Amino acid sequence: MSMNRHLLSRGIASSRTFSIGEISKRSGVNVGTIRFYERMKVLPAPPRTASGRRAYDGGDLRILAFIRRARELGFSLDEIRALLCLGAPENGSCREVREVAARRLEDIRSRITDLAAIERLLAGAIAGCSDDPVATCPILEVLDGRSANSKSKT
């Protein structure tokens, strides 16, 4: 990962360093999340100043923006780590990056299918409800697993 730090710093005003608070504001990533990314080895640990403060540079800012966007698209930390190891955000084999993204897309499509089934089940239960007090409530039946529809997809 230190090689990525070196590669990303080139061409970016790397002489400028940022404190963790400053890079948090600039990247839109919470300070605690930045520390978490460092512990999880998604973001390389930055060098420290003589007083022990983290000193981030433009390359770190770019990596954080990349991580934030990848998380927004649903990539896991392991997938992001893999993309960074492939040379992202600047470089990387399109074929290898495409393989990681294709797996993510497959997972998203599977989730959409599952959510559509859940939507149909809940919509049917809601449609079966009335304002009248009745002995059984279709929504509670679904939640309790008593509905025939709820047993088909859980």
| Same structural domain, 15 and 46 | yes
| Same structural domain, 7 and 83 | yes
| Same structural domain, 34 and 65 | yes
* Domain containing residue 41: CATH number: 1.10.1660.10
pLDDT tier for residue 14 given thresholds of 50, 70 and 90: low
Top mean pLDDT of 12-16, 95-99, 145-149 is at: 95-99
| Same structural domain, 61 and 136 | no
The answer as to whether 122 is a domain residue is yes
- Dihedral-angle region of residue 54 (phi above 0 means left; psi in -120 to 50 means alpha; beta otherwise): beta
pTM: 0.71
Residue 132 has a CB neighbour count (10 Å cut-off) of 5
Q: What is the pLDDT of residue 136?
A: 80
Q: From CA 31, how far away is CA 153, in angstroms rounded? A: 40
Provide the mean pLDDT of the chain: 84
The answer as to whether 103 is a domain residue is no
Regarding predicted confidence, which is higher, 85 or 37? 37
| Same structural domain, 87 and 130 | no
Please count the structural domains in the chain: 2
Helical (H) or strand (E) element with 46: none
pLDDT digits (tens, 9 = 90+) for 102-153: 999 999 999 999 999 999 999 988 888 877 777 688 888 888 887 655 444 4
Q: From CA 23, how far away is CA 34, in angstroms rounded? A: 9
**Is pLDDT above 50 for 22?**
yes
pLDDT tier for residue 9 given thresholds of 50, 70 and 90: very low
The answer as to whether 106 is a domain residue is no
Nearest CA to 150 among 85, 1, 89, 142? 142
Segments forming the whole domain that contains residue 121: 112-152
Lowest mean pLDDT among 12-16, 17-21, 24-28, 82-86: 12-16
Q: What is the pLDDT of residue 90?
A: 74
CA 32 to chain centroid, in Å, comes to 15
The residue from 46, 62, 92 where one domain ends is: 92
pLDDT digits (tens, 9 = 90+) for 38-73: 999 999 999 999 999 999 999 999 999 999 999 999
| Same structural domain, 118 and 79 | no
